[in-house]
Structure 1
């Protein structure tokens, strides 16, 4: 189930986002979190199963498109379709917009089609 990020879940989001970044630079992660918290066009959602947050997806919503900026799943849940489910739910939520990806998320998004 897709659940919208709240500021009180900052530490959980940091942990999941660190799985995607090549370097676990705390300063870089904090700047990324500030971007999501301060920019109204940036949205972040968790994937929750049985009271556990096991994935995260971050998007930027623009006039005619949304861009998948970040996507991560806990290693023990990879290969179970969680990433696909997150992308599918975001597509449903923003069905009137075109979906795009960043350089970091493009390979995964393309693998879904």
Structure 2
């Protein structure tokens, strides 16, 4: 179901563009290059019948054994079915990172909180848009909230 994306097909690029602010061709090409050539950037897809339904991208910080969630997108028709949670849960169960972080806005902060992340406002990084830093710390194979999945 979930596997690392190695080839950036048009459906992957289209889905990834849904979670990029004002996705221009140049911006998308830059993001794709980072996933292709930076060994610390990883993009994973959630597949149903060999078709991608969602993606999650992370940037790994090996020195701190942590990861930052950079991108999460679920296809319009697949939303509300727990696929975003499955992506987060898969990372929680398959990776040994001690900390996961995500920066988000008001629209998605509730999702991260429901997955056990603690959220703190970091103010308006863009005029009129409040941003939040969401952090999930793990102790051994458990989160600080006592469960390994959201």
Taking structure 2 as the reference length, the TM-score comes to 0.68
RMSD: 1.9
Correspondence for 1:32: 31
Task: Give the length in aligned residue pairs.
Answer: 112
Which residue number corresponds to residue 110 of structure 1?
113
Runs of at least 4 residues off by over 4 Å: none
Instruction: Provide the residue aligned with 2:100 in structure 1.
Output: 99
Contact 2:12 2:52 in 1 (8 A): no
Kept in 2: contact 1:46–1:55 (CA 8 A): yes
Question: Which blocks of at least 5 consecutive residues in structure 2 are unaligned?
Answer: 117-150
Unaligned runs of 5+ in 1: none
Higher helix share: 1
How high is the TM-score relative to the length of structure 1?
Answer: 0.88
Q: Answer with 72-81 or 43-52: which moved more.
A: 43-52
Question: For residues 59 and 110 of structure 1, what CA distance do their matches in structure 2 show?
Answer: 18
